[in-house]
Chains A and B, each alone.
Chain A
Amino acid sequence: MMLLWIWIGIVVSLTSAVLGWVRLKSGQASKTVSFVLGIVSCVSITMALGVRGELRGACPLMDAGEVFLFIAWSLSLVYVLTGGTYRVSLLGLFSAPMVALFLGLVLVPGMLSENPVRAEHLDPWKESHAATSVLSFGALGLGALAAFMFLVLDTRLKAQKAGWVSMKMPPVNTLVQSVDRLLLLGVVVLSLGIAAGFVTTIESGLSHLITAGGVWIAYVALLVWYKWQGMPPKLFARITVGLFLLSCLLFFII
């Protein structure tokens, strides 16, 4: 049943991406279509997580497949909650393939344990730590996507070639503001996750603490520097994308 929900999520996300690009190219981009498909995708991933959670008897964040599933969920959830607010309509178009990618990774053999061990006892702090930490990556991931969109637009404008894609994209200022706000949201949620981690015992111990702390410090430093000292938007966007990729890699390694 869980696999069915994942496949639904993949198909809906890919449909959203393809439909979005086709409509954009034909000059009829629709925020509503991306938004509605984003909701459908989010619901299907929630259902998949629900099924997995039932099997685990706990928050399903115990193997790589579950982490990817959770990241896909947090990406689609944060998009649904914030996409409309910041009017970054094309964010849905860019995030849909990313959601499909993470869901695809879940299906890679070996990622999802076939016989998940049922949790013997529940540690709410540990579960909160895992859930909020991964959830923060949804916001940080969307921030990276908005930063990527900025870099695409910036490259076109710098080359003095606006083109049709740039004309459909949100303005430079809106994208930079979105990156800023999504990073702030991500850092706040990540802070809660780290705080919850201090109350419980994490098996991976010191390396986990150093990585989480390092990622948190890097994001906080970036935001503080950006807000107080200012920074060229291109540099801000590049660091945002790089930091997200690096932190994903680090967490995958540990």
Chain B
Amino acid sequence: MELACIGLNYHTAPVELREKVAVSKTDLGARSRQLLDVPGIKESLVLSTCNRTEYYMAADHAQRAIEEMYGVFSESSEGVLIPEQHLYTQSKIDTVRHLCRVCAGLDSMVLGETEIFGQVKEAYRQAQDLGVTSKGLNKLFQKAFSVGKKVRTMTKIQEGNISTGSVAVDLAQRIFGNLRDSQVLLLGAGEISRVTAQSLQSRGAKSIHVANRSFEKAVEMAKEFNGLALHFDAWEDVLLQTDVIISSTGAPHFVVTPEQIERVRKKRKYRPLFLIDLAVPRDIDPTCRDFDEVYLFDIDSLEAQAADNRASRQREIEKCEEIIEEEIAKARLVGV
């Protein structure tokens, strides 16, 4: 018995091809069972996410199974022939290495992302429920799960947020801790504000005010966050109770000025105020950061922080690969 894998991912195939062979989450088990009809294949498992579709097999002969699978891939692609250059294959020990990299997030579009781990687990659960995995794939997947966990625990591969929105939310938590009691004010109803506000809400922020030059748009966005819409010239009225301001208007001049903050400082009892300026040209006068209790981050500083985190994850790759190699060397797997 030998282990093998065939598949395509975002590295090798564009989305137009990936969507042709994608298997829906609920059909993963059934699809895995279909593969057992292919001659020589004893165990099988299908993993399919938006970035990859992969077939894992334990077969009498790895190379022969892979050759058979080229045909199966084409059959599953709604009649569109998948050119061979878009597919990759792994056999024996390379299958183990590949799956470990997938579970550790090293093969993901967003390096170190955690979602893939759950997706592999779900695919394995479905295949196991239908009894299409046995000794070969069971040992392979259990090993890959333990290696994936070890890599994530022993390295910084999943540390630090790598999108500007998430970095902003992290910073808000550095200032306020729990965001449950924090009041957020959105100036401008643009997409980037919406995404950042979504992140804040997902981490507990409950009270969100939206002020926009077009009041209809403000109402629309406020509805989405279960918040309150304001006319743009009324935003200062809520400054007293606001903790976080996310600004992304198209204004050619500063919208938030030191004078506006100065007026409410004492009444706010100098509570920290977090200003996130996502606009270009900038909405918030940079001299606002001269107030002791004001923390101001603009789009460049958020992007720089996200880039630092991305670079930090890149630096961890070598360490992750070492752990994977050590663990593979120690493992006693079938079919390698």
A binds B: yes
In this assembly, does A82 line the interface, its C-beta being within 8 Å of a C-beta of chain B? Answer: no
- With a CB–CB cut-off of 8 A, which chain A residues contact B295? 157-158, 172
The A-contacting residues of B in range 160-181, CB under 8 angstroms, are 160, 167, 170-171, 173-177
Which of chain A's residues have a CB closer than 8 A to the CB of B160? 167
Task: Tell me if A167 and B272 are in contact (CB < 8 A).
Answer: no
Q: Determine, out of B102-110, B117-125, B286-294, the stretch whose residues face the partner at the interface.
A: B286-294
Q: Whose C-beta in chain B lies nearest to the C-beta of A232?
A: B292
Contact among B159, B175, B176, B272 for A27, CB-based, below 8 A: B159
Residues of A within 8 A of B156 (CB): 27
A-B contact count (CB 8 A): 61
Interface positions of B from 261 to 304, Cβ below 8 Å from A: 266, 268-272, 289, 291-293, 295-298, 301, 304
* Minimum C-beta distance from B220 to chain A (A): 32
Question: Interface size (A, Cβ < 8 Å)?
Answer: 22
CB proximity to A under 8 Å, residues B123-162:
156, 159-160
Q: Which of A157, A166, A229 has the most CB of B within 10 A?
A: A157
For B174, list chain A residues within 8 Å (CB). Answer: 153, 157, 162, 166-167, 169, 171-172
Inter-subunit contact A162/B305 (CB<8 Å): yes
Chain B residue at minimum C-beta to C-beta distance from A157: B295
Asked whether A233 lies within 8 Å of B269 as measured between CB atoms, the reply is no
**Which of A161, A162, A170 has its CB near the most chain B CB atoms (within 10 A)?**
A162
The reply to whether the CB of A230 lies closer than 8 angstroms to some CB of chain B is: yes
With contacts A27-B159, A160-B301, A173-B272 taken as known, whether A230 is within 8 angstroms of B266 at the C-beta atoms is yes
> Which residues of B lie under 8 Å from residue A166 when comparing CB positions?
174
Query: Does A231 count as interface, using CB distance less than 8 angstroms?
Result: yes
Let me know if B177 and A170 touch, CB within 8 A.
yes
Tell me, yes or no, whether A56 is within 8 Å of chain B by CB.
no
Asked if A234 CB lies within 8 Å of chain B CBs, one says yes
A residues contacting B by CB (< 8 A) are 27, 153, 157-158, 160-162, 166-167, 169-174, 229-235
Offer 29 A-B interface pairs, CB within 8 angstroms, sorted by A. A27-B156, A27-B159, A157-B171, A157-B175, A157-B295, A158-B295, A160-B296, A160-B298, A160-B305, A162-B171, A162-B305, A166-B174, A169-B174, A172-B174, A172-B175, A172-B272, A173-B176, A173-B272, A230-B268, A230-B269, A230-B271, A231-B270, A232-B291, A232-B292, A232-B293, A233-B270, A233-B272, A233-B292, A235-B292
- Interface residues, chain B, CB within 8 Å of chain A? 156, 159-160, 167, 170-171, 173-177, 266, 268-272, 289, 291-293, 295-298, 301, 304-305
